[in-house]
């Protein structure tokens, strides 16, 4: 027995099922990576800020990092399923081995998953640091966001108390949102810009973004806030600096008239 055992050990990669698994692994990994990335990233749509672009690239990186693991599990499962199958009401004979352990396989598995875990952590932390810095931008426009059942209000304290239910932002200018709520918890989500921050009654929270595309994007409430939660949506208009200035002027005039 020991002789067979050692010979098995020395040449374990030569057995047919290991080869089959290896081939399947090589085939399945790129398929999983490709499908996972393409399907997900296509659903997300075009980013309207650097934050969103980095979310997309993070998800792509994670998918590709996970693909070999998923591919390996899939390859092993398919090999098992294509192997020794038995049907009927009585169990097949017991297997011709009693492998109870494989310290080498276990150690490899744990080490690789730890490394992947650290990789995911570090990648995430790098982006997190970058996002956190943008909150401190002194040149940023400050906008106060107030959620209430079931509308958003936007105040421009630096522009003569302009207040609006539709958000206007100049393109390529950093913005810091100061978010709070009047009643229950809401969540301020600018979908295509990849930012989200809860609006809590009694607190002010902050998030920052620099829109880099002109266009109309979606704001949705992402926290169940009562009866009309589904309809608590707004638009954000990202416009050129000139358009933004003239919009502010019109709004300020309206406020003054009122």
| Residues with Cβ within 8 Å of residue 175, at least 6 apart in sequence | 140, 141, 142, 143, 169, 208, 209, 210, 211
Based on the shown chain and the rule CB under 8 A, indicate whether residue 38 belongs to the binding site for other proteins: no
Contacts (CB under 8 A) with other proteins, residues 99-118: 99-102, 105-106, 109-110, 113-114, 116-117
Query: Among 230, 235, 240, 254, which residue interacts with other proteins (rule: CB under 8 A)?
Result: 230
Binding mask 168-197 for other proteins (x = CB under 8 A): -----------x---xxx-x-x-xx-xxxx
- Alpha-carbon distance of 91 to 96, in angstroms, equals 14
Per CB under 8 A, which of residues 71..100 are in contact with other proteins?
Answer: 73-74, 76-77, 79-81, 83-87, 89-100
Kindly tell me which of 220 and 237 has the beta carbon lying closer to other proteins.
Answer: 220
In terms of CB distance, is 200 or 210 closer to other proteins?
200
Does residue 131 interact with other proteins by CB under 8 A? yes
Nearer to other proteins, 21 or 164 (CB): 21
Closest listed residue to residue 195, CA positions, set 177, 212, 180, 214 = 177
Question: What is the C-alpha to C-alpha distance for residues 234 and 232, in angstroms, rounded to an integer?
Answer: 7
Sheet holding 175-181, edge to edge: 162-164, 151-156, 141-148, 175-181, 205-209
241 binds other proteins (CB under 8 A): no
């Amino acid at each position: 027995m020991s002789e067979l055992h050692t010979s098995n050990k020395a040449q374990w990669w030569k057995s047919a099922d290991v080869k089959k698994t290896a081939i399947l692994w090589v085939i399945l990994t790129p398929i999983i990576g490709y499908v996972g990335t393409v399907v997900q990233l296509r659903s997300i749509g075009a980013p309207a800020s650097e934050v969103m672009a980095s979310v997309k690239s993070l998800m792509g990186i994670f998918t590709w990092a996970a693909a070999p693991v998923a591919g390996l599990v899939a390859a092993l499962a398919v090999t098992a399923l294509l192997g020794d199958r038995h049907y009927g009401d009585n169990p097949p004979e017991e297997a011709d081995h009693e492998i109870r352990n494989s310290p080498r396989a276990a150690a490899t598995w744990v080490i690789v998953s730890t490394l992947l875990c650290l990789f995911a952590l570090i990648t995430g932390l790098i982006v997190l640091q970058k996002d956190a810095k943008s909150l401190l931008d002194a040149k940023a426009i400050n906008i106060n966001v107030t959620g209430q059942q079931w509308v958003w209000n936007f105040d421009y304290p630096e522009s003569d108390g302009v207040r609006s239910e539709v958000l206007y932002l100049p393109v390529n200018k950093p913005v810091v949102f100061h978010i709070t709520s009047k009643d229950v918890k809401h969540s301020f989500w600018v979908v295509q810009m990849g930012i989200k921050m809860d609006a809590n009654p009694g607190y002010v929270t902050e998030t920052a973004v620099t829109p880099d595309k002109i266009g109309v994007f979606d704001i949705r409430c992402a926290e169940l806030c009562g009866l009309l939660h589904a309809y608590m949506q707004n638009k954000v208009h990202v416009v050129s600096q000139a358009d933004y200035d003239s919009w502010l002027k019109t709004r300020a005039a309206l406020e003054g008239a009122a």
